[in-house]
Every structure is written in C-alpha cells, then in structure tokens.
Structure 1
Amino acid sequence: MPDKKMARHVTHGLTGKRVYKTWESMKARCYNPNDGKYEKYGGRGIKVCEEWLGKDGARNFAKWAYENGFDENKHQKEQSIDRIDVNGNYEPNNCRFTDAKIQANNRTNTIFLEYQGKTKCLQEWADEVGISESTIRWRLNNGYSAEKALTTEVKKNSNAGKRYLTYKGETKTVSEWAKHLGFDPKVLYSRIKRGWSTERALETPTGADKWHKTK
C-alpha cells in the first residue's frame, strides 16, 4: 500500500496549479529523503498535519491557502508558505504566506538583536536605521555593541575611484597633479592609461606627445 503522505491524487482538479505544486513541495521536504531540502525539514522532525495529508489533503490545503491570501498569479519569490515557528510543523495555525524577505528573516540561523527594548532581526534593523544588514553584521562580529552597530554613521569614502600618483616623495590624485602642473586632467589620465610611467606623465610638457593636439 502506498504511503498516504506521498500518495498522488489527481481527482481534486488542482494538478498543474501553483497551490498544488506548493502542497507537493511541502510534503517532499518533510517526507522524501531524496529531496534537496529534506535535511532541514523532515530530517529535523518537521511534519505536515493530518488534515493536509491523505485523500483530501490537497483539497483541504488548497481551501485553507485560498482563504488565507494565496495568489495563483504570484511567483514563488513573491509569495510562498512560511512556518511562523520555524521548529513547528506545517499546520493551519503555524503557517502563512509571505515573500522571500520575510522568510529570510524567519530562518533558523537568523540573528536577532535587542536595542532599546526592541528585538528584531538584522534585516529589520537595517531597514529601520538605514544601514545595510552586512555592515551591521560586520560591526557585531568585530566587537561593536548593539547601540554602536546601529547608530554609528557610515562614513562615505570620498576617495573612491580616485587614482593616486607618487612623484618625488609626494602623493596626489591625478586631478591634483594636473592642477599643480597646469595640465588638463584628461591628458594625465590618458597618459597613465597608455602605460606611461609617473615621471614621464608628469614631466612631459603638454603637446609634446604625438597623440595630444593643442588648440
């Protein structure tokens, strides 16, 4: 006799619909050892409630899904089933439909941070304070307190993308050297791009190189 948990029934009229695929994927994660996600679900003891299994399982699940906002027209990333308690089973009182961002916040490895009496995951704090989640995570990993990680202003690197040249022990940006020598910055940038040494680029008078024409 086939296992009712994995049995397929095609008399419910749902085959081919996204809600049916969601139901099948949910069961596979919990009961099929060959499923790529089994280890994180069935392997941890996560089960599907009896109401959503067996002969009427697909129909019961679809009825609950549609009554709780399931949209056939949405993509998996826009809406998928999520367990409120990540250690609980798939059952009506512990499931909801959310987007990928909320699901990511609800993973077992999500880091939560308490600050000023509120506890939120890092992504939620990032959204609130306007600092990227990766920056907050780096700060915490490097010994920052919760307050410092969430309130320290992110410094803007005004030197990003600038090219520096060192000549006779002095370091300046290409633009600064051009201003200092009375050159057009484009001339210096072109010389450096063509592989000229710093000395040649700075010491050659404007117009002395064949590729540059003076007006």
Structure 2
Amino acid sequence: MDKGTEPTVRGRTRTVEEWARWRGMTVETLVWRLEHGWEAPDAVLVPVRPAAASVVVTAFGRTLTPGEWERENGVPATLIGKRIKLGWTPEDAVSRPVRSKRTARTVTVGGETLAVHEWSERTGIPAAVISSRLSIGWTPERAVSEPIRKRRGTGRQGVVIGGERLTIREWSERTGIPANVISNRLNRGWTPERAVGTPVRKRRGPKPDRSPTVREWSERTGIPANIIYVRLSRGWTLERAVGTPVRPRRDA
C-alpha cells in the first residue's frame, strides 16, 4: 500500500496522502491502520490522540512552563501536567521526587517494538484497552490493530447472561450497578458477566476541602480517565464530562 491508494469514505474517494492531510494525521499512521485490517471509515475518521496543551504552572510564587520546572527540579514536564490534572497542589506537582517505577510495557508487532502508549498514539486505540486485550490473551498484532466496535447484544436487544436477556437498565436495577457504568464497561471490552457482576469499588470520600480527582470520577462513573481529560480539554463542563456516557462507535 502506498500514498496513491484511494480509500472511499462517506462516498468520497481520495488518496491516502490527501485523507491524512485532511484529518491531520501522518500518512504512516493511516497506512498502518489500513494494512492492519481497519475499514477505511475507521482508519480515516478515528482521531489520533491529541497532544497535551501547553500550560504554565505557578508555584512558590513563580510562574514557569512544565519544561522550565523540569530543568529546575528534575520532575518530567509530562508528569507535572498529569499531577496537576489529578488534583496535586502546584508546589507538590513540580517538586516532589519521582518514585522509581517499572519500565513501560513494550509490544512487538511486525518486527517493530513500541511501548503500549506509543502504539496507542499511532492507532488511536486507548492504551488501557491495548493492555486489557493483552492481559486476556489477545495476540499483540490483534491487540493494537483491531478497532473498538460496538459489542453485540448491548443495545435495545439487551444483554444475555446465563441464557437470560435483560436490558442494561434492568441489569442495573437487579445488581445495583449504575447503568452507565455497565454500558461503559461493555464498551471497553468487558464480558457481560464481568460487566454486571463486578461491584463498583467503594472509595473513601474526598477530603472536604477538595473535589474528587479525575481518576476518582473515572472509577465512580465507569468513564475512562483519558476520555474525561480530553472532554475537559475541549471545554466541557465537569458535570457534562463525567455525566455523559461514552457512545460506542457504529460499525462501518
């Protein structure tokens, strides 16, 4: 496959290079998706994860960019941004030493080895989904290349468990698990049995002087934390970001 290949999407036919330019992605990413079984509409229309916006952080009476704080204190700029989003105080975010952690998991596909988050950036599939697929035995190539699709049996036809078919709302009423949590679990690849049978983890309430972190909202609502981050970065209100269920994409 080369730049001259002409996929058809929504009735329009353009070259790979033209589609990539129109969607703001690299030709390499689009070609990779098509070569690994993505249908043309998915390959072209699924966005590549957006890069984090530039910010400044005010701490200890000074205002610097994360990169400038990194040069002063040795805390990676990307980690500073994540800490701020998780509710850390600016002073802690820019100064607390980084704890040692395990090396990022890598995945080899077609002779190319990348970290899970790098495959995520290339394919548009969330890193958490890739990791989950690998943990349940998917092959690396399938884990990083198969588009996320709407699961059968999760819409109006209901969810079937043990031969019994109920709607998501009915399973919610029976189990006490919120319907939006069950729906989001299914959209993230959970089996129906696990989605309606796993209790929502109870967490101690946040301290009175602070709001729940994005991660706490994610665990409370079932909406992936990275999706909440993206919604907030696009100007959504917090109520809308944590209260709007994730819509499964329609199959092309």
The answer to whether the superposition gives a TM-score over 0.5 is no
TM-score, with normalisation over the residues of structure 1? Answer: 0.30
TM-score, with normalisation over the residues of structure 2? Answer: 0.26
Higher helix proportion (structure 1 or 2): 2
Q: Rg: which structure is higher?
A: 1
